[in-house]
């Protein structure tokens, strides 16, 4: 290992954990941290200049790389400036195969000055790096660090071209086809050799068959094993190892031993086994890649929704196809019937129905009229529209949702940290186990070195920790994608883990158990003429009670000259005199009827007639009774804390069957009540208004809030569920508990597999071929178990 590569490796390790020099890894005499002054100076230079500048200085005399490594990477589309002034780089990575890769990349990037956070998602192979300083060329330096560690960064284009996942799958298919073709031909030759072992085949003929097999096998291995060889070479070149190092070593050893036996005119050659081993390794890698693709974040799907060009009107009034990211704010775009909207904007002209399910989770089409806000990813169903662009590219709501999902998928829950720690320490253990196995069989048992070598190869392959590294991320990705499809957005990476522990649920009333949208109550004293008169005034106001009257009356005209008196009501000069709609004191003396209904009210005053009272109620969500009953059946303790009046809160609690309720509780009182519950040892979920109940939401162990995706960046909750129903809350809790069980199952299976498979391989009961099948199958079992979470269970109502 060169000194520069050793420096790169030691830069990202804990100095106290090494038994050698903190720079080059060589033995240290005495109590020092370095083996000599040169290493001490080099190590200090790394910390003074940074890893990138250190490489630039040390490698200045090296020849310029050619080909793919020399090609500059345009990172302009991958860098985003965040609201707080920091910058974020998002890349796709090729060559990330295990938890050790994740740890190495993250550690190297976090050592760079100014870097605030770095996270690699093993399942999606996406890198996200955030830094605070505005140094020019910072993104290129960060990408250079990743490249020098042996990984290939890429920026996914808007059309998906250049996605390393798709390129890797195509390469695996080609390699698998070549290996399968070669395996069948070598097996035909091997059948002849096996048939001749009875004595009918001479040594010269057998050797000829072996050479023919070698002529087929060696080019096959050189071509089909490239995915493994390239990954292993890049890792070793950067002074590290990964899971492909033992696999490459095993395939190379099997082929080399066979060639050695053929050159010595030996009786046994294993070209058929080497190529078959490679073929099944490729099958496992391909199936693993496809399963990862299925488990890959729903964010992949969301990103694809914004790639289609939009029709932008230019200065001449011509519609020009334009990439969504290149549309300027304020431009006008045309959205045809059946077309997916590619930008955020407001309706400038046209009336249509919109499929909003991507953003809101709502399955029923929603009307869109001039002035309404629409977002990228929605589908125009009924009629053409013109939109005035308010955001495009990374500034759209869809992009914000994708960022939240990736943050949730990439978070480090305690199980992720455990799996990463185990995975990154496997390499020395695996190599030591394989070497020990070889020496024991040769020196102690007395087995021929060729056979002992094949047993060691089986150990190298069967101990690959793919299943362990995938145990947690695969579940996180599937769970996040399922919740997104149900209109639930996770804002916290550890929310699922905390939700799985919840035993107490505390509800707010207004806007949580209810819609927060008052509805006009039916009253026989109000006829359609009175309602329409009130509506002609109400349509001129955005007040919630005025909008409730307008909804009840339906579409209609707006009176000219309506004047809104802040905090009082609406006034209009009608043909017969002034007409007022508002509070009691605003409309004049009123006669309050007996048996007054508690709740909001508006009064309508007309010339020559008694004021007419309109009453309103904030009704519970349609499925609130059923969902609350279902949560109670699951064993959750339920409570209701509201700042509303006691009669209203009591009526709601009785209607929903919540025995523990309190009225007139302000935000500070809610936070105190939650703190008391936590002091009793309960794990509390607070469900409330994410914009107004921030203190109470923060006081709970975990929090959820109803709201639209528009509010998701402002709400203080860990999760936001959308729509007019409460069922997403039950779905969120169900997914969290199932995800927790699946993570434990995956970790348990991975540990059980290694505890069983390693002794079997070391005892010589597993050939390299069986080891390849077992290793691939373990990864597929873990991924398949995670994909079970995508199946929905019906919630009892």
- Residue 414 token pair: 């305690």
Residue whose C-alpha is closest to residue 313's, from 399, 397, 378, 384? 384
Asked whether the beta carbons of 67 and 391 are under 8 A apart, the reply is no
Residue whose C-alpha is closest to residue 707's, from 718, 696, 691? 691
Contacts of 620 (CB under 8 A, 6+ apart): 513, 514, 652, 655, 656
Could you tell me where the DSSP H helices lie in 296-351? 298-305
Q: Using the structure block, give the residue that is written with the tokens 């890349």.
A: 91
Residue whose C-alpha is closest to residue 532's, from 615, 617, 614, 619? 614
Q: Alpha-carbon distance 226 to 229, whole Å?
A: 5
Report the 10 Å Cβ neighbour count for 744: 13
List the Cα angle 29/32/34 in 5-degree steps.
85
User: Could you give phi then psi for residue 127, rounded to 5 degrees?
Assistant: -110, 135
User: Could you give phi then psi for residue 87, rounded to 5 degrees?
Assistant: -125, 150
Asked whether the beta carbons of 496 and 502 are under 8 A apart, the reply is no
Asked whether the beta carbons of 232 and 244 are under 8 A apart, the reply is yes
Cα Rg, the chain, nearest whole Å: 34
Q: Alpha-carbon distance 106 to 513, whole Å?
A: 42
User: Could you give phi then psi for residue 428, rounded to 5 degrees?
Assistant: -60, -35
Q: Using the structure block, give the residue that is written with the tokens 């519609």.
A: 319
User: Sign of torsion, CA 285 768 463 789?
Assistant: positive
Q: Alpha-carbon distance 38 to 733, whole Å?
A: 57
Give counts: helices (H), strands (E), the chain: 28, 27
Q: Alpha-carbon distance 475 to 419, whole Å?
A: 13
The three-state DSSP-derived secondary structure of 653-709 is: HHHHCCCEEECCCCHHHHHHHHHHHHHCCCCEEEECCCCCCHHHHHHCCEEEEECCH
Residue whose C-alpha is closest to residue 459's, from 762, 712, 152? 762
Q: Alpha-carbon distance 788 to 792, whole Å?
A: 9
- Provide the Cα torsion 535, 616, 372, 308; round to 10°: -140
Q: Is 14 a catalytic residue?
A: no
Could you tell me where the DSSP H helices lie in 12-130? 37-49, 51-58, 99-110
Distance in angstroms between the alpha carbons of the first and the last residue of the chain: 64
Q: Alpha-carbon distance 595 to 450, whole Å?
A: 97
Maximum C-alpha span of the chain: 123
Could you tell me where the DSSP H helices lie in 238-364? 244-263, 271-295, 298-305, 357-360
Q: Please pick, among 508, 644, 693, 740, the residue that the annotation labels catalytic.
A: 508
Please give the order of strands across the beta sheet that includes 601-605.
519-520, 612-617, 601-605, 577-582, 569-574, 563-565
- Residue 305 token pair: 């929704």
Q: How far from 778 is each of 113, 266, 284, 462, 773, CA to CA, in Å? A: 40, 36, 10, 10, 9
Residues involved in catalysis = 508
């Amino acid at each position: 290992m060169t000194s520069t590569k050793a420096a790169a490796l030691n830069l990202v390790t804990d100095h106290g954990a090494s038994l050698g020099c903190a720079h080059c890894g060589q033995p240290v005499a005495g109590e020092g941290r370095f083996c000599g002054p040169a290493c001490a100076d080099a190590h200090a230079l790394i910390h003074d200049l940074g890893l990138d500048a250190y490489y630039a200085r040390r490698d200045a005399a090296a020849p310029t790389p050619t080909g793919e490594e020399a090609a500059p990477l345009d990172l302009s589309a991958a860098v985003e400036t965040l609201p707080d002034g920091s910058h974020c780089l998002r890349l796709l990575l090729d060559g990330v195969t295990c938890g050790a890769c994740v740890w190495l990349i993250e550690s190297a990037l976090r050592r760079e000055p100014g870097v605030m956070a770095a996270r690699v998602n093993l399942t999606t192979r996406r890198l996200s790096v955030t830094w605070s300083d505005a140094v020019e060329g910072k993104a290129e330096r960060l990408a250079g660090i990743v490249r020098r560690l042996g990984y290939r960064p890429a920026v996914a284009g808007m059309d998906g071209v250049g996605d390393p996942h798709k390129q890797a799958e195509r390469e695996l298919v080609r390699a698998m086809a070549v290996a399968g073709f070669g395996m069948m031909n070598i097996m035909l030759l091997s059948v002849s050799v096996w048939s001749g072992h009875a004595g009918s085949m001479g040594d010269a003929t057998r050797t000829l068959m072996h050479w023919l097999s070698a002529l087929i096998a060696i080019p096959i291995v050189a071509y089909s094993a490239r995915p493994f060889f390239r990954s292993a070479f890049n890792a070793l070149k950067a002074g590290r190892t990964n899971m492909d190092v033992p696999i490459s070593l095993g395939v190379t050893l099997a082929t080399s031993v066979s060639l050695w036996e053929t050159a010595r005119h030996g009786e046994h050659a294993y070209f058929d086994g080497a190529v078959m081993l490679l073929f099944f390794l490729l099958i496992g890698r391909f199936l693993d890649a496809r399963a990862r693709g299925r488990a890959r974040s729903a964010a992949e799907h969301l990103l694809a929704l914004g790639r289609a060009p939009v029709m932008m009107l230019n200065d001449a009034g011509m519609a020009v196809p334009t990439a969504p990211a290149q549309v300027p704010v304020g431009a006008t775009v045309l959205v045809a019937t059946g077309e997916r909207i590619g930008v955020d904007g407001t309706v400038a002209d046209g009336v249509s129905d919109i499929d909003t399910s991507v953003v809101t989770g709502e399955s029923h089409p929603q009307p869109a009229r001039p002035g309404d806000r629409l977002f990228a990813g929605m589908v125009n169903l009924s009629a053409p529209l013109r939109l005035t662009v308010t955001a495009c590219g990374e500034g759209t709501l869809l992009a914000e949702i994708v960022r939240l999902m990736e943050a949730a998928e990439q978070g480090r829950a305690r199980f992720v940290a455990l799996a990463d720690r185990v995975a990154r320490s496997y390499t020395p253990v695996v190599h030591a186990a394989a070497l020990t196995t070889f020496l024991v069989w040769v020196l102690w048992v007395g087995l021929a070195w060729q056979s002992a070598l094949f047993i060691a190869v089986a150990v190298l392959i069967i101990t690959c920790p793919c299943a362990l590294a995938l145990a947690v991320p695969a579940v996180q990705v599937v769970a996040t994608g399922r919740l997104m499809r149900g209109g639930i957005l996770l804002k916290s990476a550890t929310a699922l883990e905390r939700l799985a522990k919840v035993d107490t649920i505390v509800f707010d009333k207004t806007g949580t158990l209810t819609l927060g949208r008052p509805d006009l109550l039916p009253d026989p004293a109000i006829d359609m003429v009175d309602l329409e008169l009130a509506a002609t005034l109400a349509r001129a106001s955005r007040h919630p009670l005025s909008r409730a009257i307008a909804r009840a009356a339906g579409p209609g005209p707006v009176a000219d000259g309506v004047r809104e008196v802040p905090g009082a009501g609406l006034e209009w000069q009608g043909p017969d005199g002034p007409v007022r709609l508002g509070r009691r004191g605003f409309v004049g003396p009123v006669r309050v009827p007996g048996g007054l209904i508690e709740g909001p009210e508006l009064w309508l005053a007309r010339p020559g007639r008694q004021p007419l009272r309109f009453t309103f109620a904030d009704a519970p969500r349609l499925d609130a009774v059923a969902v609350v009953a279902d949560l109670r059946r699951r064993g959750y303790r339920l409570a209701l804390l509201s700042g509303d009046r006691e009669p209203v809160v009591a009526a709601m609690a009785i209607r929903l069957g919540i025995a523990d309720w309190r009225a007139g509780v302000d935000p500070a009182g809610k936070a105190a009540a939650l703190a008391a519950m936590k002091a009793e040892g309960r794990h509390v979920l607070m469900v409330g208004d994410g914009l107004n109940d921030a203190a109470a939401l923060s006081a709970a162990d975990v929090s959820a809030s109803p709201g639209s995706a528009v509010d998701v960046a402002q709400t203080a909750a860990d999760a936001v569920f959308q729509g007019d129903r409460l069922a997403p809350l039950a779905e969120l809790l169900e997914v969290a508990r199932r995800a927790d069980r699946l993570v434990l199952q995956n970790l348990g299976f991975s540990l059980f597999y290694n505890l069983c498979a390693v002794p079997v391989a070391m005892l010589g009961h597993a050939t390299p071929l069986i080891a390849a099948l077992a290793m691939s199958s373990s990864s597929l079992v873990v991924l398949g178990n995670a994909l079970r979470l995508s199946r929905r269970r019906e919630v009892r109502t």
